[in-house]
Amino acid sequence: RKEVEQDPGPFNVPEGATVAFNCTYSNSASQSFFWYRQDCRKEPKLLMSVYSSGNEDGRFTAQLNRASQYISLLIRDSKLSDSATYLCVVNGRGDNFNKFYFGSGTKLNVKP
Amino acid sequence: NAGVTQTPKFQVLKTGQSMTLQCAQDMNHNSMYWYRQDPGMGLRLIYYSASEGTTDKGEVPNGYNVSRLNKREFSLRLESAAPSQTSVYFCASSETPPGPRGYTFGSGTRLTVV
């Protein structure tokens, strides 16, 4: 079983739409959760950390559900510039605590 | 600007050739990592180094070696390249353990083995 699983998409949405992605993780002991954004042929860049209480950064909201072992990312009022692949990231277990595991990514296309 | 620098950006190798990918960070991070990214597979950890002088295997270490030359530099070596090593390689660094700023990535090396 993969450590982190995401729906690959693509999610095709019009500008101004609200879109949500989920990501499930297998390690119940994971403590660190992140969403990264990756543009085509570029390196991943940190979008936001995900905290237990949930957190918001402008149009982006991240939530953590430990009981069901998933994290979510909500994007409101989508912009053309939001088109990218969104990577879910969690840390490993035991000796792998310092290592991150990446999902395969969910592709978002925002259309005019 | 502080960050992670990788060289080269592009490389084509013939099967059996060797090469070293270079990575340097000026963020004063203790931990450094090498990942490869293949379509549909996500990022997979090849090797990592939690501090100068230490290295550990990740998920896919076969066919690779690494050297943590000093705190700033972490190199990845392919001794005998194979077509299966065609991929995009990313170096990253972080605090130990990674804090809320997570990893910082280099811009990647696109390697093709023919």
pLDDT digits (tens, 9 = 90+) for B11-65: 999 999 999 999 999 999 999 999 999 987 789 999 999 999 899 999 899 999 9
Instruction: Fill in the amino acid letter for A74.
Output: L
Assess B105–A contact: CB distance below 8 Å, yes or no. yes
Please tell me the distance from the alpha carbon of residue A32 to that of residue B65, in angstroms, as a whole number: 28
Q: Which residues contact A107 (CB under 8 A, 6 or more apart)?
A: A8, A9, A10, A11, A84, A85, A86
Kindly report, residue by residue over A54-78, the tens digit of the pLDDT: 899 999 999 999 999 999 999 999 9
DSSP state of B85: G
Assess whether pLDDT exceeds 80 at residue B95.
yes
Instruction: Fill in the amino acid letter for B67.
Output: S
| Partner residue facing B98 (CB), from A45, A98, A104 | A98
| Partner residue facing A43 (CB), from B101, B102, B106 | B106
Please tell me the distance from the alpha carbon of residue A51 to that of residue B31, in angstroms, as a whole number: 22
Polymer length in residues for chain A: 112
Residues of chain B neighbouring A43 (CB-CB closer than 8 A): 90, 105-108
Which pLDDT score is estimated for A95?
Answer: 61
**Residue contact B108–A87, C-beta within 8 A:** no
Mean pLDDT of chain B: 93
Please tell me the distance from the alpha carbon of residue B66 to that of residue B60, in angstroms, as a whole number: 13
Please tell me the distance from the alpha carbon of residue B30 to that of residue B48, in angstroms, as a whole number: 11
Tokens 């996500």 found at: B42
A12, A109 Cβ separation under 8 angstroms = yes
Q: Which residues contact B97 (CB under 8 A, 6 or more apart)?
A: A32, A91, A97, A98, B31
Give residue A52's pLDDT band: very low, low, confident or very high (50, 70, 90): confident
Query: Buried b vs exposed e over A66-98: b needs ≥16 C-beta within 10 Å?
Result: eeeebbbbebeebeeebbbbbbbbbbbbeebeb
Is residue A10 reached through a cis peptide bond, with omega within 30 degrees of 0 on the bond before it? yes
**Residue contact A42–B42, C-beta within 8 A:** no
Helix (H, G, I), strand (E, B) or coil at A81: helix
B27, B3 Cβ separation under 8 angstroms = yes
| Partner residue facing B101 (CB), from A46, A98, A104 | A46
Instruction: Fill in the amino acid letter for A80.
Output: L
Polymer length in residues for chain B: 114
Assess whether pLDDT exceeds 70 at residue A9.
yes
Give mean pLDDT, residues A80-105: 85
Is residue B61 reached through a cis peptide bond, with omega within 30 degrees of 0 on the bond before it? no
